Structure 1
């Protein structure tokens, strides 16, 4: 009996430690340092029903969408380092203007922070539901998460998580189908022959360079014309 009781205590202790370790990896309160000031800036800008919003993290934030696309109504709502939790928190600023279109690319920072697939996709579903509820006439385009290239060394936390990216992208596709949202499957269009982010599109294995953005532009053009 003593041996069995001791074994139960060890099992309970180990289970608690595992759960505690998992909780430490999921910081839902994390926001980038510039998050608050950027959201306040976004709120200070006038809204227009013709707005075409690009929503996401640094991959979105680094593009000059007006110049890249030649669209005066393009609005950059990317925040470097943002996650699906951050997008959810600032989504009212997006939907209150009832924009014509929203193009959303988000999730790689969630993956870098080891958020479980179910958490990321749960947030995705909440984002889609919020947009469809608060701005039902807005056309929403969800884009699959881009691949990374672990041959580079600048962003080690984001590398070697290709299967995680694939699983989340699978879930994004399922949500797009479930909610009749237009899917733009970016992931395969940026791969090299070894299933990595093609080095011609990046300088450090995570973000896009000018060639990468021009490639993205070509992919988006049919969706911008409608």
Structure 2
């Protein structure tokens, strides 16, 4: 009988000592496992939350960091821009070279412009205000670009405001003249200009599938303006005009070399035909209008 109490005493003393480290160890393992799972969940949640912000930051640092180049046009394949099929009734099937400016022809009268629409910036607005061209729809506004012509509601029709592209779709036209690009010279991104212009041509064609589309080359600025301005450079205008010629060829639309109508022997705008180095005098606008009257694609589509 004396042996049994002794065994019981040893069991009472040793059992807690053996169980305590095991319990502590088990609790530690459970806590460590829970923290690992919790940490992984918290880390994953924060990584996901940061993705949109990180994406925006990468985009912001990448926008328009390409240095301006004025030595050669950007090589662009048709797959770069959203291309649209050239209408079968155009002259492409007969091998017409759309990269070449339309040649000089017999002068047209005002009835030629009665079914025309002009898309452009303040230069086009000045042309239709100060020259003798009468009859076309004036869908131009100061500061417009190949991008904002489809986003800025600056054309008022019947008491409502529309973007120039929306206004273009409100009626049918036989011709659409486009002059855009002077405001885009400050973009410092030739590829962006090319792609936006290519998309615009597709949208114009969708709005006016039966119209002749005329792309006009950019007018020069005066030598003084080109030398003094940060980005209005005649050298850069020449690059953009090469891109416009490429677009005319790619899209099967007519090219009008308006630059040739006003450039002097140094490819600059004569100082006496400009009021500020960019915009024209009344005589300058009339010379431009005379060029448009004598450079049409009338014979190709008659």
- The TM-score with structure 1 as length reference comes to 0.70
Gaps of 5+ in 2: 1-56, 67-113, 152-162
What is the alpha-carbon distance in structure 2 between the residues aligned to residue 101 and residue 52 of structure 1?
A: 5
Distance 1:24-1:180 versus aligned 2 partners, 3 A rule = closer
RMSD: 3.0
| Aligned positions of 1:9-24 closer than 5 A | 20=61, 22-23=63-64
Q: Which has the larger radius of gyration?
A: 2
- Give the C-alpha shift of residue 202 in structure 1: 0.9
The residue aligned with 2:144 is 82
- The C-alpha deviation readout for 1:167-208, integer Å capped at 9, x for no partner, is 111111011112221100112332122221122321211011
Gaps of 5+ in 1: 1-15, 26-49
SS of residue in 1 equivalent to 2:127: coil
Match of 2:285 among 183, 203, 213: 213
- Contact 2:122/2:140 (CA < 8 Å) preserved in 1? yes
Determine whether 1:194 maps to 2:258: no
The residue aligned with 1:144 is 217
- Give the C-alpha shift of residue 220 in structure 1: 0.7
The residue aligned with 2:240 is 168
The residue aligned with 1:94 is 168
- Give the C-alpha shift of residue 75 in structure 1: 1.5
What is the alpha-carbon distance in structure 1 between the residues aligned to residue 259 and residue 292 of structure 2?
A: 13
- Give the C-alpha shift of residue 24 in structure 1: 8.6
What is the alpha-carbon distance in structure 2 between the residues aligned to residue 195 and residue 167 of structure 1?
A: 13
Distance 1:141-1:211 versus aligned 2 partners, 3 A rule = same
The residue aligned with 2:74 is none
- Give the C-alpha shift of residue 61 in structure 1: 1.4
Distance 1:215-1:174 versus aligned 2 partners, 3 A rule = same
Distance 1:97-1:147 versus aligned 2 partners, 3 A rule = same
What is the alpha-carbon distance in structure 1 between the residues aligned to residue 281 and residue 123 of structure 2?
A: 10
What is the alpha-carbon distance in structure 2 between the residues aligned to residue 174 and residue 197 of structure 1?
A: 23
- Contact 2:130/2:282 (CA < 8 Å) preserved in 1? no
- The C-alpha deviation readout for 1:35-59, integer Å capped at 9, x for no partner, is xxxxxxxxxxxxxxx5311110010
What is the alpha-carbon distance in structure 2 between the residues aligned to residue 197 and residue 66 of structure 1?
A: 18
- Contact 1:65/1:74 (CA < 8 Å) preserved in 2? no
- The TM-score with structure 2 as length reference comes to 0.54
- Contact 2:127/2:289 (CA < 8 Å) preserved in 1? no
What is the alpha-carbon distance in structure 1 between the residues aligned to residue 221 and residue 130 of structure 2?
A: 26
